[in-house]
C-alpha cells in the first residue's frame, strides 16, 4: 500500500469543503489542512470550498498546479455522502480537469462512519460527561443520548446518522437514544428534544455530529437552551463537535491512502472474516442446528460450554443430546433496564435465558409473573 510519506513530488492532496458564511467554520476547517501539513511537511496540501468561503476549490487546484503538481488526490471534507460530496464537488473537479488535460484528479470517499470518526465522536460524548474512558455497564443507564445529524434529502446519509447514534449509544451504554436533524429531514432538533423529554430521563446528552462550528451549531444550542428552559427538571449536556480531533485527521490520512491505492471498494465478507481470523479476533465453529445427513456420523466433540440449568422453576433437556461446539460471550448490557432482561418470564427459549446471571433472573421473576406456555425449545416434535 502506498503511504503518504512516499507520495511523489509531482502529486498533491486537496481537502474539499462546502463553505460557510460563519468565519469560525472557515477557520476551523482550515485546521484540518494545517494538521495534515504538520504531520507531512514535505507534502503539497491545499483546501478549498464550494461556496461562501475562500479559497474556493478552483483556487486550491490552481495553487497545486503552480507548485508543479500533475496528480491530485482529493477527498471531501464531509461526514456523509450527500449531494455535495456525490455531485457538487465531482462536478467542479471534472470541469477543472477538462480544462487542464495534463492534470489527473482522483477523488476519494467522504469521512463517513470510519472507525476513527466513531472513536472521535464517542470521545467528545465521554468528555462532556467528565469521562476519559467508557464507564462500566450501568453507569449511563439513567442518561439519554440524542445525536444531531446534519439532515439532507439523501435518505442513506440520514440513515448513517441514525446508525452512528445506535453505535454510540450501545458502545457507551446509554439508557436510551434518539437521532434528530438540523436540516431538511425529520425529526427536527427542537421537536426531537421535546419528544425526548417525554421518556422521563432526567439527564440528556446532546451530541452534534459536525466537523466545525458556525450557524448550525449555534442554532442547535439555541434549541437546547429553549427546551431546557421549558423542562427545568431535565439536565441537558452539550457535547462538543469534532473539529480537528486527532482521529479525524487519522481518517483523512486513511481516505487519502485509499484514494492513492484505488482501494475504496468494500472488502468482501469472506475476505473480511479471513482477515479477522488471521488476527485472532474470531474462531472457526459450526452451529448446533446445522443440517446433517440422516446417517452421517459425527466426528466432533459435543461438550457444551455452557449449562442449560437456569435456576428457574423449569429445566429442559434438548430432544437430541447435542453440543453447540461454541460459546457466545455474554452481552455487555444484558442487564440494561430496557433490554433483554424485560423478556425474562415471557416464555422465551431456554438457550436465550442461559445468558442471564441467576440474580438477574430472580429480580425479574420477583417483579412480574411468568407467562403461560411452553418455550419452543421444550416442545416435542410430533
Whether 78 has a pLDDT exceeding 70, the answer reads yes
What is the spatial distance between Cα 222 and Cα 212, in angstroms, rounded to a whole number? 17
Query: Which grid cell sits at 361?
Result: 433472573
**Among the listed residues 112, 141, 60, the one whose alpha carbon sits nearest the alpha carbon of residue 333:** 141
Q: Are 47 and 29 within 8 A, CB to CB?
A: yes
What DSSP string describes 61-117?
HHHHHHTT--EEEEEE--SS-SHIIIIIHHHHHHHHHHH-TT-EEEE----TT-HHH
Q: What confidence score (pLDDT) does residue 267 get?
A: 56
Residue pointed to by grid coordinates 461446539: 325
Q: What is the pLDDT of residues 158-193, one digit of tens each?
A: 999 999 999 999 999 999 999 999 998 999 999 999
**Among the listed residues 157, 278, 256, 173, the one whose alpha carbon sits nearest the alpha carbon of residue 209:** 157
Domain boundaries, the chain: 4-112+246-261, 115-238
Instruction: Check for a shared fold between 4-112+246-261 and 115-238.
Output: yes
Cβ neighbours of 183 (radius 10 Å): 17
More confident residue, 294 or 212: 212
Contacts (Cβ under 8 Å, ≥6 apart) of 253: 4, 36, 39
What DSSP string describes 250-284?
HHHHHHHHHHHHT--SPPPHHHHHHHHHHTTS---
* Helix, strand, coil percentages for the chain (3-state, nearest 5): 40, 15, 50
Q: What is the pTM of this model?
A: 0.82
Q: What is the pLDDT averaged over residues 107-126?
A: 97
What is the spatial distance between Cα 249 and Cα 217, in angstroms, rounded to a whole number? 21
More confident residue, 319 or 161: 161
Cβ neighbours of 12 (radius 10 Å): 24
Domain 4-112+246-261 maps to which CATH number in 3.40.600.10, 3.30.230.10, 2.40.290.10, 3.40.50.1400?
3.40.50.1400
Distances (CA, A) of 169 to 80, 174, 216, 360, 377: 19, 5, 23, 22, 32
Q: Are 51 and 89 within 8 A, CB to CB?
A: no
CATH number listed for the domain at residues 115-238: 3.40.50.1400
Q: What is the pLDDT averaged over residues 288-310?
A: 51
More confident residue, 20 or 168: 168
Amino acid at each position: 500500500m502506498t503511504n503518504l510519506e512516499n507520495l511523489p513530488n509531482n502529486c498533491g492532496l486537496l481537502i474539499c469543503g462546502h463553505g460557510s458564511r460563519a468565519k469560525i467554520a472557515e477557520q476551523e476547517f482550515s485546521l484540518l489542512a494545517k494538521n495534515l501539513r504538520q504531520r507531512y511537511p514535505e507534502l503539497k496540501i491545499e483546501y478549498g470550498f464550494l461556496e461562501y468561503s475562500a479559497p474556493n476549490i478552483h483556487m486550491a487546484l490552481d495553487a497545486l498546479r503552480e507548485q508543479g503538481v500533475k496528480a491530485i488526490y482529493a477527498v471531501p471534507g464531509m461526514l456523509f455522502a450527500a449531494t455535495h460530496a456525490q455531485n457538487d464537488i465531482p462536478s467542479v473537479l471534472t470541469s477543472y480537469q477538462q480544462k487542464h488535460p495534463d492534470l489527473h484528479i482522483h477523488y476519494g470517499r467522504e469521512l463517513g462512519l470510519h472507525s476513527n470518526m466513531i472513536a472521535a465522536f464517542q470521545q467528545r460524548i465521554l468528555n462532556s460527561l467528565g469521562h476519559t474512558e467508557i464507564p462500566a455497564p450501568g453507569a449511563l443507564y439513567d442518561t439519554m443520548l440524542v445525536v444531531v445529524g446534519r439532515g439532507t434529502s439523501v435518505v442513506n446519509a440520514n440513515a448513517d446518522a441514525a446508525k452512528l447514534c445506535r453505535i454510540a449509544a450501545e458502545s457507551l451504554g446509554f439508557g436510551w437514544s434518539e437521532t434528530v436533524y438540523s436540516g431538511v429531514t425529520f425529526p427536527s432538533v427542537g421537536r426531537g428534544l421535546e419528544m425526548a423529554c417525554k421518556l422521563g430521563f432526567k439527564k440528556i446528552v446532546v451530541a452534534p455530529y459536525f466537523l466545525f462550528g458556525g450557524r448550525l451549531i449555534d442554532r442547535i444550542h439555541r434549541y437546547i437552551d429553549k427546551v431546557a428552559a421549558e423542562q427545568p427538571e431535565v439536565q441537558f449536556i452539550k457535547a462538543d463537535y469534532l473539529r480537528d480531533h486527532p482521529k479525524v485527521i487519522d481518517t483523512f490520512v486513511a481516505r487519502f491512502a485509499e484514494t492513492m491505492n484505488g482501494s475504496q471498494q468494500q472488502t468482501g465478507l469472506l475476505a473480511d472474516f479471513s482477515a479477522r481470523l488471521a488476527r485472532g479476533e474470531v474462531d472457526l465453529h459450526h452451529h448446533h442446528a446445522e443440517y446433517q445427513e440422516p446417517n452421517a456420523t459425527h466426528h466432533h466433540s459435543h461438550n457444551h460450554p455452557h449449562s442449560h440449568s437456569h435456576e428457574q422453576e423449569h429445566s429442559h433437556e434438548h430432544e437430541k443430546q447435542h453440543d453447540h461446539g461454541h460459546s457466545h460471550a455474554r452481552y455487555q448490557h444484558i442487564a440494561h433496564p430496557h433490554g433483554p432482561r424485560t423478556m425474562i418470564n415471557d416464555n422465551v427459549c431456554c438457550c436465550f435465558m442461559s445468558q442471564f446471571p441467576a440474580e438477574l433472573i430472580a429480580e425479574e421473576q420477583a417483579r412480574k409473573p411468568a407467562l403461560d406456555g411452553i418455550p419452543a425449545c421444550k416442545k416435542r416434535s410430533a
